[in-house]
Structure 1
Amino acid sequence: GSQACPGLRRNLISLGVLHDGGMVFRCDRDKKTMRIMEDEVTVMIGGRTASHLYKLQGSTIAGG
């Protein structure tokens, strides 16, 4: 893989895989926050970075 972003791979989450698992994702109107939800409950929140990626806040899924 690319060495431009060492360690990045383990921090990436496939929204498609989450969607297949029954989760949905919504971007807030402020265009700076993304919520990943399951059964209308927010399980993960991502903040948008300057490079247009969403960095998850925290490291685990609530209620797992």
Structure 2
Amino acid sequence: MSDEDARKYVLADLKAIVAEKFAAGEGGVTIGPDTPDEVILRTIKQAVSLGKPFMVVPPHPLIHDDF
């Protein structure tokens, strides 16, 4: 399997996970590989302030900005 094919599978898996969580009433925060720390902190604080469960999806090493 090529790196490009692997990235497609990982991206599809992440999308499926996020879709399932939202369908179950849980939110999600997706973090990109180049997301600044300040943005991550602000986003997570805002999500916590809503008082509902959420999932943080960190960047996967196979997903790049050029994908």
Superposition TM-score tier, normalisation by shorter sequence: 0.3 to 0.5
More helix by share: 2
More strand by share: 1
Larger Rg: 2
Instruction: Give TM-score scaled by structure 1 length.
Output: 0.34
Of the two structures, which has the highest relative contact order with CA contacts closer than 8 Å and spacing of 6 or more?
Answer: 2
Instruction: Give TM-score scaled by structure 2 length.
Output: 0.33
